[in-house]
Amino acid sequence: REDLYGRSNDMGFSGALSFLRRKYTRDLTGVDVAVTGIPFDSATSNRPGARFGPRGIRAASTEVASLDGFPFNFNPFDHLSVVDYGDVDYTPGKPEDGLSEIEKHAGIILAAGKTLISVGGDHFVTLPLLRAHHKHHGKMALVHFDAHTDTYPNDHEIDHGCMFYHAPKEGLIDPAHSIQIGIRTEYKKDSHEFQVIDAAEANDLPAKEIIKSIQSRVGDMPVYLTFDIDCLDPAYAPGTGTPVVGGMSTDKVLKILRGVKDLNIIGFDLVEVAPPYDHADVTSLAGASIVLEYLYILGHQKQG
């Protein structure tokens, strides 16, 4: 691939597997958005396998690389130059090093003034990503899609259930302007600082009501959006480490993302896709499509 703009239409089933057929490069000249993979799953508490997430999502992304997405009907790559920056490199036997490597890797892209989209990996990768984004954007509002709050107090382990216990303590995010959507596992309502729209409520509410809640919660703050694929019901995302029944549909979350297109979303990650438990690429395709939705948001903003 030569040009950073436009599309190159390989046959869907052929060719090299970069994300959405973008140029594979670490040259950030003229780049608006860098997509990077983080094949890290050492913080997994149940089933490992999210280290294969970036590879699975790249493969599935070829399915949505060539046509204008519904309902946007424009080519985001006419407005945005997007590259596949490749994966974070770390020593698998040293997960502590992995965290500093992720932060350093993200820092290079952010210091160049580029928008970063990260594809996990287990959800723990969001903590070093928040640290890297905080250096450039200050304290952020978090919009968090997940079956789990990931606020469990754990000071001693690398554990993908505790990032949002640490992030407010480190001053990276403001829970008073943050919201979690799709939760359906243990949390104590009265001692929980984040607003929660649990999965049962989210399934009953129309998307536009959820959009309004997100907008009024985050206000004008810079927003970091983190999407744990297990927010989706296992029917829509079986390929993940800790599936929980009673989740949201892909349709609902895409509508919500479309609805928040005017928020100042400065960072985005999609985590916990574990292809070894997937069927027919359902989960990887959902992951690729959710990331693409964010690219449409950016394309819409750049279009003006």
Q: Is 271 within 8 Å of 229 (Cβ atoms)?
A: yes
- 147 sits near Mn ion (criterion: CB under 5 A): yes
Instruction: Please report how close the Cβ of residue 204 comes to Mn ion at its closest, in angstroms.
Output: 21
- 146 sits near Mn ion (criterion: CB under 5 A): yes
Nearer to Mn ion, 76 or 239 (CB): 239
Question: Which residue type occupies 45?
Answer: S
Cα dihedral: 91, 92, 95, 101 (round 10) = 40
Instruction: Please report how close the Cβ of residue 300 comes to Mn ion at its closest, in angstroms.
Output: 27
- 101 sits near Mn ion (criterion: CB under 5 A): no
* Residue 37 token pair: 């993979």
Site for Mn ion in 110-139 (CB under 5 A): 123
Nearer to Mn ion, 18 or 149 (CB): 149
Instruction: Please report how close the Cβ of residue 114 comes to Mn ion at its closest, in angstroms.
Output: 25
Instruction: Please report how close the Cβ of residue 298 comes to Mn ion at its closest, in angstroms.
Output: 23
Residue 74 CB: number of other CB atoms within 10 A?
Answer: 13
Q: Which of 87, 150, 174, 198 binds Mn ion (CB under 5 A)?
A: 150
What distances in angstroms separate CA 258 from CA 98, 168, 181, 183, 263, one per listed residue? Answer: 33, 27, 15, 20, 10
Nearer to Mn ion, 254 or 274 (CB): 274
Nearer to Mn ion, 206 or 246 (CB): 246
Site for Mn ion in 170-229 (CB under 5 A): 228
- 148 sits near Mn ion (criterion: CB under 5 A): yes
Q: How far apart are CA 27 and CA 25, in angstroms?
A: 5
Site for Mn ion in 29-88 (CB under 5 A): none
The set of long-range contacts for 248-253, using a CB threshold of 8 Å and a minimum separation of 24, is 248/145, 248/181, 248/182, 248/199, 248/202, 248/203, 250/286, 250/289, 252/202, 252/203, 252/207, 253/145, 253/182, 253/227, 253/290
Number of residues binding to Mn ion, judged by CB under 5 A: 7
Nearer to Mn ion, 7 or 160 (CB): 160
Q: Is 145 within 8 Å of 177 (Cβ atoms)?
A: no
Instruction: Please report how close the Cβ of residue 230 comes to Mn ion at its closest, in angstroms.
Output: 4
Instruction: Please report how close the Cβ of residue 16 comes to Mn ion at its closest, in angstroms.
Output: 30
Q: Is 282 within 8 Å of 268 (Cβ atoms)?
A: no
Q: Which of 101, 198, 230, 293 binds Mn ion (CB under 5 A)?
A: 230
Q: Is 86 within 8 Å of 37 (Cβ atoms)?
A: yes
Could you list the residues that contact Mn ion (CB under 5 A)? 123, 146-148, 150, 228, 230
